A = this chain, B = another copy of it.
Amino acid sequence: MNVEEYMVKLGQQARRAARLIARADSGQKNQALLAMAAALDANRPALIEANAKDLAAGAANGLDAAMLDRLELKPATIDGMIEGLKQVAALPDPVGGITDMNYLPSGIQVGKMRVPLGVIGIIYESRPNVTVEAASLCLKSGNATILRGGSEAIHSNQAVAACIAQGLEAADLPAETVQVVETTDRAAVGQLITMPEYVDVIVPRGGKGLIERISRDAKVTVIKHLDGICHVYIDAQADMSKAVNIALNAKTHRYGTCNTMETLLVHEAAAAEALAELAVGFATAGVELRGCEKTREHLPTINAATEEDWSTEYLAPILSIKVVADMDEAISHINAYGSHHTDAIVTENYTLSRRFLREVDSSSVMINASTRFADGFEYGLGAEIGISTDKIHARGPVGLEGLTSQKYVVLGDGHVRK
């Protein structure tokens, strides 16, 4: 069997399993999730042994320290996977929920019932814990999953897959509900994203290169974001202590996350005070600043920002700063250079805050809060499969609901159309 045939086989099996898991009741799904947690706990030595093979191969193949770190299954990583499974088990089951059920003039009742999407394909890079995270969210939302992890994590992923299979078996659910691709052949990805008859949605998780490639070539909907070029705009009427706290938190809380601020916009009337205070804070944190011409009038020792800086996601302790004439210029800058991910204003002005919410075209728009809050847990979704910056289907952090759709249900009593 070649790799294309192998992937088609997985697809057919997933499609069949999807019909069964769509009907599974919440108790059975939760039983599987908790049994997976127990299996991970019981198989720690096997997980660490498999992971050691990947780490050794990775080191031999010259993976850098950051990649090896993401690849490593530390005891705390395994604790995290177990805890995550328990949390997903505790979330309410979205499947079958009926909303908006109303009587209509004809006498029929019409409502909407939440249903699974079907088969979700997940493509990710080095982190083996994504296997558990993605599988658990798809299972709870009643979907079958095909998981394709990075080749550098192949042994770890297979070991995790064995624990997932134990959990499914314990709850008497079909083994094909969660399938982890066993080949490292790259052609597997190409096949996975181009078989709409077996796969309904693709969720890629990883670097921009991976996601761009998948979005370009996929024949099904891709839930994704490419960049997180997030902005904080400090308005002339900002409370300066809030502004400084938010800007420092949005940049320095974590550098490598998609909801980290990459560009700071400051109203010219607030620039002198804000930049003086922030320069101290960012210097302490070791953040390199790059400013527009007006910024450098206030902070003459920093580097000049180039046109390219405004559309760069640094994922690093670097920040570009632009002084703007007013909120309109800030909004234009955000909508033009941003990535429609997460953008915040700091202001005490009611009218400006109301306009900012409406006019900024991003998946999360914030007033007086750090962009770092853009996250499924912080938004109360319980967990997230990823963040979408598109407008179709799901936007912003995507939790269980984003992995479902709705069908109309109609109740009559012999009603016919007049």
Contacts and interface: CB of A to CB of B under 8 A. Distances in A.
A106 B378 contact: yes
A140 B382 CA distance: 34
Contacts of A412: 366-370, 373
Nearest to A243: B414
A378 B417 contact: yes
Given A357-B113, A378-B106, A414 B200 contact: no
Contact of A417 (B242, B373, B415): B373
A268 interface: no
A360 to B, nearest CB: 9
A187 interface: no
A413 B373 CA distance: 13
Interface in A369-410: 369-370, 372-374, 378-380, 391-393, 395-397, 405-410
Nearest to A410: B366
Given A346-B414, A366-B409, A374-B410, 14 more contacts: A104-B378, A246-B414, A364-B408, A365-B409, A366-B410, A368-B413, A368-B414, A369-B416, A370-B412, A373-B412, A378-B417, A392-B392, A395-B406, A395-B407
Contacts of A366: 409-412
Closest CB pairs A-B (n = 10): A369-B412, A242-B414, A249-B416, A372-B417, A391-B405, A366-B410, A396-B408, A364-B408, A393-B393, A368-B412
Given A358-B96, A413-B368, A417-B378, A373 B246 contact: no
Contacts of A242: 413-414
B392 A408 contact: no
Contacts of A359: 23
A373 B410 contact: yes
Contacts of A49: none
Interface of A: 19, 22-23, 96, 102, 104, 106, 108, 110, 113, 115, 117-118, 200-201, 221, 239, 241-242, 245-246, 248-250, 253, 335, 344, 346, 357-359, 361-370, 372-374, 378-380, 391-393, 395-397, 405-417
B417 A249 contact: yes
A361 B115 contact: yes
Contacts of A357: 113, 409
Nearest to A238: B414
A405 B417 contact: no
Contact of A410 (B104, B110, B369, B413): B369
This protein's copies in its complex: 2
Given A96-B358, A221-B221, A391-B405, A415 B106 contact: no
Contacts of A110: 378-380
B369 A108 contact: yes
Contact of A408 (B19, B221, B365): B365
Contacts of A392: 117, 200-201, 221, 392-393, 405
Contact of A396 (B118, B380, B407, B417): B407
A385 to B, nearest CB: 15
Contacts of A414: 239, 241-242, 245-246, 346, 368-369
A19 B3 CA distance: 45
Contacts of A248: 416
Given A115-B361, A392-B200, A405-B392, A104 B370 contact: no
Contacts of A397: 408
21 contacts: A19-B335, A19-B361, A22-B361, A96-B358, A113-B365, A201-B392, A242-B414, A246-B414, A246-B415, A246-B416, A362-B407, A363-B407, A364-B407, A364-B408, A367-B411, A369-B411, A370-B412, A370-B417, A373-B410, A392-B405, A396-B408
